[in-house]
Amino acid sequence: MTKNLVLAILLFVSLGSVADATVVVHLDVSEVPELADWGNKAKELIEEWHQRTSNLIPTKGFDVPTEVWLKIRKSNRGIAGTSGARITVSSGWIQKHPEDIGCVYHELVHVIQDYRRRVSGWLTEGIADYLRWAIYEGKSQDWFPFRDKPQGYRDSYQVAGGFFLWLESDRCPGIVNKLNTALRKRTYKDESFFKEETGHDRRALGGLCQR
């Protein structure tokens, strides 16, 4: 095969994968053009994982956002944040931790959750970190931090992520999708959801989640 033919095939394959993406990503690196490569990698991450992640937490009749805005902000403060379908990442964080492309995956989950109202932080962040660390990063249960105290699993982020992995793999497969759907439909009730799904009171679950 000639070199040009190989290049043409590679170009075709890469154009094909972008055309197949179920999401349109608007990347803005105008404040920090030197981070364009990182921004493009993050854009590809979103194109690759948008549909996969949407498939993991589907809700009948609910359409996830298919347009995402990704902006790298010139700032030394914070890591990343999401408002609606707009993800912002701080340039200072990327410069210190260029390997942390997975923070964009966590924000992509927030875009897909699309709760459109305030939800308890440990639920929103726990689902995002369960999907990031257990599915996207492929970490096992042992990797997740554990708080040995009543309701310690609500300590948000990775702790709650590990709690959801434990529920999914041990007690209650499918619970993350049910929880996410209840949050989207506004039918979630703090006092009854976990009791109905797991058979255990929310307060007792922390004691069962020993490892």
Which residues are near Zn ion by CB under 5 A? 125, 128
Give whichever of 23 and 128 is closer to Zn ion, judged by the CB atom: 128
Tokens of 178: 């049910």
How far apart (Å, rounded) are the C-alpha atoms in residues 211 and 209?
A: 7
| Closer Cβ to Zn ion, 45 or 128, answer by number | 128
131 vs 209 by CB, closer to Zn ion: 131
Q: CB of residue 129 vs Zn ion: minimum separation in angstroms?
A: 8
CB of 125 to Zn ion, least distance (A): 5
What are the phi and psi torsion angles at 144 (to 5°)? Answer: -75, 140
Q: How far is the CB of 119 from Zn ion (least distance, A)?
A: 11
- Taking the least distance from each CB to Zn ion, the nearer of 47 and 125 is 125
Question: Whose Cβ is closer to Zn ion: residue 25's or residue 108's?
Answer: 108
Tell me the C-alpha distance between 125 and 123, whole Å. Answer: 6
Tell me the one-letter amino acid at 113. Answer: Q
Shortest Cβ 87–Zn ion spacing (Å): 10
As given in the structure block, the two tokens for residue 67 are 């347009």
Minimum Å gap between C-beta 170 and Zn ion is 25
**Cβ distance 115 to 188 under 8 Å?**
no
